[in-house]
Structure 1
């Protein structure tokens, strides 16, 4: 147990604390890829989410079980798409968020400001915020960025897995050495508009450059800590200290390869084996959207048939049988949360699960119903109610307010 903690609590005591916390401050999660999953698995149909959907990590019953009160929906498109095509696909993703909210008005409401998020939560609904995952979706255009702002986008991740012309990614070869002058101008415009700068996915050099010029708090929407697992998608201690000075928030994620060095090594070995067998590194391609006049149901049926037609990769299946995937425990996830807390304090922490953005997650956090279990683990380690409320939502609400205060020309839509 770390030095900040009070005495260990029983499971019953921890459960009582978690219930009080989630009643006072439900989870506001930083990153969920449901819009992409709906494109890939349902032809962008949003019907049926009011019942259990085992092929997804996310549905309304499990969001309610997980006590989610606010969700940043990621409007992800691949960073290897041509940028004009990425803009079109991003708009389709944003449309999916609005259709989701329209289909379930008693459950979801699109929100842009901290005050709107709080109002939606008080009304018993889930505040739906929008995050653009990757600067390639801007196509180098501040006009595109301002258009996203008018549609309610509340953060932009500066890169995804590939560099942009103006920012280096954590998982690509260095190109501009962090942020270029154009990248600094984009950060300045994000601050001017009140849109959060998201530094998940970006290189440490880009993180430092953005933190040096940002005039509002930044976020990491779904990253964990390099001190616990030295993965390029995680955040180093030096950068976390800069984040504290900036006033921003690290929204810790549950992605197994980011949590566990053992899983990261296994993932690298699996990738090497796929390469040896001549298989694609990732057995997934960006699915098309429905064409005008085509029903989502027809496209979903086509997608399902295509998935069934993929031949079994027998050689890789044999490798998997001989090399079973390591599992990740709830305690390992909590260790990342605790390290960040010890380093920068509870005021700079949040949660960003990355549900429906990865194939699998730790067994006790396998879907969006799992947040109370993580909070129970932390309560058992001595976290009190105020600390847990800061983690679940109060910190990200403060960051939203601070960004709104800095903004010179907010373009948020008028929402009902």
Structure 2
């Protein structure tokens, strides 16, 4: 009940934030909305739910959140739940639970994109097999770059591409995480970032950057990131790669700490021989194609 109340509150807060900045950003419900808003020079807001745990066992709540604008949702986060095993969980269900299989069907019925980032390998396999429509991984890295259960192996990337899906490349889990006590304290504060003022948020970001100067959270850097990106494109193809840095979840590497670094990604892609059309697909086109393919 508490998780559901929090999810409803967070959804309402997103709406209020967008409304308060309507000259700059607007909500989108369809791929066509995104194209239109981009032409109008506005930032585009799609609403997502990283973890479906707040739904409890009531799948009818997906319709409530769909009506509130939800267009992307994952079944599970960092721990196994009633729907699926997490990539970092204990393997309770050996993939999806019976309720999780019903969740996939209801997601397909409503036309909400399934996000399999954070799902275990077995859950990913079952989602891919059961879903009628292409799925997305909104923030995942390659296991061939760093062997971590949150990362996708190359065989599964090929399977994802074969079903029309896309993987958005993250900046997280590209090395062992250096979680010092000081970093853990900041992580704890980020968990409640919605309850602090903009000034407090800015100060928290400053503290994070200051800590980066003396101790790195990750051993990888921008060059390692781009090596992984280019390998992912080689394996999955330009039609099945996108970007999702996970900056709010511990992501960010030296050289790609925030959005100011994104033009460097484009520069490296051009240097590697990718066309403007290819790059447009990876920055937005592939995500919009997956959304448009949801049968609605």
Does TM-score exceed 0.5, indicating one fold? yes
Distance 2:69 2:245 in 1: 22
Give the drift of 1:301: 9.6
Structure 1 window deviating more from structure 2 (117-126 vs 92-101): it is 92-101
Equivalent residue in structure 1 for 2:281, among 390, 410, 415: 390
Distance 2:283 2:198 in 1: 38
Equivalent residue in structure 1 for 2:130, among 213, 236, 250: 213
1:138 is aligned to 2:55? yes
Give the drift of 1:354: 1.4
Equivalent residue in structure 1 for 2:241, among 326, 329, 349: 349
1:370 is aligned to 2:261? yes
1:334 is aligned to 2:226? yes
Distance 1:203 1:223 in 2: 12
Q: Paired residue for 2:86?
A: 169
Greater RCO (Cα-Cα under 8 Å, separation 6 or more): 1
Distance 1:108 1:301 in 2: 18
Kept in 2, the 8 Å contact 1:346–1:390? The answer is yes
Kept in 2, the 8 Å contact 1:171–1:232? The answer is yes
Distance 2:278 2:258 in 1: 24
Q: TM-score scaled by structure 1? A: 0.64
Deviations 1:282-303 (A, max 9, x none): 644843976xxxxxxxx63997
- Alignment root-mean-square deviation, CA: 2.6
Describe how 1:117-266 pairs up with structure 2 within 5 A: 117-255=34-172, 258-259=173-174, 261=175, 264=176, 266=177
Kept in 2, the 8 Å contact 1:355–1:368? The answer is no
Give the drift of 1:374: 1.0
**Structure with max Cα Rg:** 1
Distance 1:352 1:156 in 2: 14
Uncovered stretches (5+) of structure 2, i.e. residues with no partner: 205-210
Distance 1:209 1:114 in 2: 26
Give the drift of 1:326: 5.3
Kept in 2, the 8 Å contact 1:330–1:377? The answer is no
Distance 1:85 1:369 in 2: 37
Q: Paired residue for 1:361?
A: 252
Secondary structure of the equivalent of 2:293?
Answer: helix
Describe how 1:282-361 pairs up with structure 2 within 5 A: 283-284=188-189, 286-287=191-192, 300=197, 327-358=219-250, 361=252
Residues 174 and 325 (structure 1), Cα distance of their counterparts in 2 relative to 1, 3 Å cut: closer
Kept in 2, the 8 Å contact 1:364–1:373? The answer is no
Distance 1:192 1:281 in 2: 40
Distance 1:96 1:179 in 2: 31
Uncovered stretches (5+) of structure 1, i.e. residues with no partner: 1-83, 291-298, 308-316, 408-416
Give the drift of 1:355: 2.4
Residues 281 and 351 (structure 1), Cα distance of their counterparts in 2 relative to 1, 3 Å cut: closer
Aligned residue pair count: 286
Distance 1:204 1:329 in 2: 26
Give the drift of 1:209: 0.5
Residues 387 and 285 (structure 1), Cα distance of their counterparts in 2 relative to 1, 3 Å cut: closer
Kept in 1, the 8 Å contact 2:76–2:83? The answer is no
Kept in 2, the 8 Å contact 1:155–1:198? The answer is yes
Describe how 1:109-124 pairs up with structure 2 within 5 A: 109-124=26-41
Give the drift of 1:357: 2.7
Distance 2:199 2:43 in 1: 32
